[in-house]
Amino acid sequence: MNSGYDVIIGLEVHVELKTQSKLFCSCSASFGAEPNTHTCPVCLGMPGVLPVLNEEAVAYAVKAALALRCTVHPFSKFDRKQYFYPDLPKAYQISQYDQPLAEYGAVPIIVDGHVVKEVTVRRIHMEEDAGKLNHLGIRLGDAKGSLVDLNRAGVPLIEIVSEPDMRSADEARLYLTELRNVLSYLDISDLRMEEGSMRCDANVSLRPHDYVGSLEDLPRVEIKNVNSIRNVQRGIEYEVARQAELLARGERIVKETRGFDDQNGRTYSQRSKEEANDYRYFPEPDLPPLVLTQEAIERVARSLPPAPTVLREELQQAGVTAKEAEIIVGDRALWEYWREATTHYEDKRQVTNWILSDLSRLLNAHGDTWLTPRVTPAALADLLRLIANGTLSGRMAKEVLDRMYESGATAAQTVEAMGVSQITDHGAIQAVVQQVVADNPHVVQDYLNGKEKALGFLVGQVMKQTKGQAKPDMVNAILKGVIADYAKT
Ligand SMILES: [Zn+2]
């Protein structure tokens, strides 16, 4: 990068847990309802009410912590983080401060299917979400107003805090990609950055090579609430360039919180950064500490699905390349499709080829995802069987797949409707081959003179005349035989 400094990046990721109800009350935690319909005295912060901890949320949080290879503490506690904001009616947020649920895990950074680095997860804690402000520019007399929606107030969150281990915007992107990937297999969150069910704050600082202090003392800029992985990367890139320019001019970097404007790709100053002691944390008096037995933690551990790194290895053992495995495991729905297709059809190599080339192409062209493929894994397997038994050539099968994707019909129905099937009749192919040889004596002579490519041209002519339906390996064999006879004459 630049010779004068290192880029130091740490990420804080908030993940909304998709529990039935909120963290401390029985209101629905679902997204997208009419504003302020999922509220009650507890999440509205009325006086005299008491929070009750949601066990499902704890189970989800433990699941995430174990999947991220953290140590889950048998004893953790909740604390009040005091601050005023219009979307926070209690004027404090229940969070976990000095004794979080879990600590010291890791997220691998994967490049081309291989682990190239591990980023340490410093801590994972549970907390409640705040509400949401809608700045619609509503006019109240002469004043401008905003609306508050408290449906989100009290929805359970986990905050995943990394060590400042990342050294480039690219590493930050890869960390977030794998973090989301690991969590996607747990079914604990929608993980939609654009809807806010996964949110990322990025801490960025530059460490000059002659700097001798601790990382903590470096002036750090926090980029808040960026709404996509791509924008986290862009925000960091901008911020690194901005800070480098300040350093180059001999100016100081101010510790602050900045927003990211995705229209022009820039960060902008929001406020000076708070310190932990600004929040006046103290233990939440209305909740007992969170105590987890070893047995309860182990029960969750046993229920965990295999980690993506394990799935990638399994795929590679099945003959899938590292790069292909990264693509497949990187999308849980795609991995499930692959897994199901390979239970219907044994040749995993063939399944992988068709999924990653032709089926992916069709999905992209139609704007579909692997959650809603129009050709089921079983239907794809049927198609592959028609290739294996010689009914279809690979080229015909591509056309059949295109039609299947449009119509939703089975491979057999489509083949029948199209009236295509492979020509495997020896005599029929031989007749066409003889004609092609007779029509192209110069090309045949070229081949006999050692020009291998000439054979390809002749094969192409045969395929053209049979509308691609002649069985390719038969065409090759028969063509060579006919040419051999031709040479003798
Ligand atoms: Zn409520």
DSSP states of 172-205: HHHHHHHHHHHHHTTTS----GGGTSEEEEEEEE
pLDDT tens by residue, 315-348: 999 999 999 999 999 999 999 999 999 999 999 9
Query: With bands split at pLDDT 50, 70 and 90, how would you rate the model's confidence at 171?
Result: very high
Ramachandran angles phi, psi of 449, nearest 5°: -85, 5
Residue 274 has a pLDDT of 66
Residue 198 has a pLDDT of 96
User: Which two three-digit tokens encode residue 206?
Assistant: 């530059």
Average pLDDT over residues 446-451: 90
Name the nearest CA neighbour of 101 among 52, 62, 140, 129: 62
DSSP codes of every residue in 125-186: EEEE---EEEEEEEEETTEEEEEEE-SSTT-EEEEEEE-S-B-SHHHHHHHHHHHHHHHHTT
Residue 1 has a pLDDT of 45
Percent of the chain topping pLDDT 90: 70
| 37 Cα–ligand 1 center, Å | 10
Residue scoring higher pLDDT (105 or 371): 105
Determine the Cα–Cα distance for residues 245 and 42; give it in Å rounded to an integer: 49
Asked if 391 contacts 402 with a C-beta cutoff of 8 angstroms, the reply is: no
Mean pLDDT of the chain: 92
Element (H, E) at 80: strand 79-82
Query: With bands split at pLDDT 50, 70 and 90, how would you rate the model's confidence at 418?
Result: confident
Can you list the domains of the chain with their CATH numbers? 5-299 (no CATH), 306-418 (no CATH), 426-488 (1.10.10.410)
pLDDT of residue 79 exceeding 50, the answer is: yes
| 15 Cα–ligand 1 center, Å | 19
Asked if 81 contacts 92 with a C-beta cutoff of 8 angstroms, the reply is: yes
| 194 Cα–ligand 1 center, Å | 24
Ramachandran angles phi, psi of 468, nearest 5°: 75, 10
Determine the Cα–Cα distance for residues 446 and 143; give it in Å rounded to an integer: 87
Determine the Cα–Cα distance for residues 103 and 99; give it in Å rounded to an integer: 9
Question: Residue 202: exposed, middle, or buried by beta-carbon count in 10 A (0-12, 13-18, 19+)?
Answer: buried
pLDDT of residue 451 exceeding 60, the answer is: yes
| 126 Cα–ligand 1 center, Å | 17
User: Which two three-digit tokens encode residue 324?
Assistant: 């292909």
Amino acid, res. 330: G
DSSP bridge partners of 267: 260
Token pair 């290879």 in the structure block, residue: 69
Name the nearest CA neighbour of 200 among 279, 107, 94: 107
| 26 Cα–ligand 1 center, Å | 6
| 27 Cα–ligand 1 center, Å | 4
Asked if 51 contacts 290 with a C-beta cutoff of 8 angstroms, the reply is: no
pLDDT of residue 131 exceeding 70, the answer is: yes
| 45 Cα–ligand 1 center, Å | 9
Residue scoring higher pLDDT (441 or 136): 441
Asked if 95 contacts 83 with a C-beta cutoff of 8 angstroms, the reply is: no
Determine the Cα–Cα distance for residues 164 and 214; give it in Å rounded to an integer: 12
| 291 Cα–ligand 1 center, Å | 24
Determine the Cα–Cα distance for residues 214 and 233; give it in Å rounded to an integer: 25
| 28 Cα–ligand 1 center, Å | 8
Amino acid, res. 67: A
| 99 Cα–ligand 1 center, Å | 26
47: alpha, beta or left? (left if phi > 0; alpha if psi -120 to 50) = beta
| 227 Cα–ligand 1 center, Å | 26
Which sign does the torsion angle of CA 215, 216, 220, 226 carry? Answer: positive
| 63 Cα–ligand 1 center, Å | 24
Query: With bands split at pLDDT 50, 70 and 90, how would you rate the model's confidence at 273?
Result: low
pLDDT of residue 311 exceeding 60, the answer is: yes
| 4 Cα–ligand 1 center, Å | 52
Least confident piece of the model among 44-48, 176-180, 411-415? 411-415
Determine the Cα–Cα distance for residues 395 and 186; give it in Å rounded to an integer: 39
User: Which two three-digit tokens encode residue 145?
Assistant: 């107003």
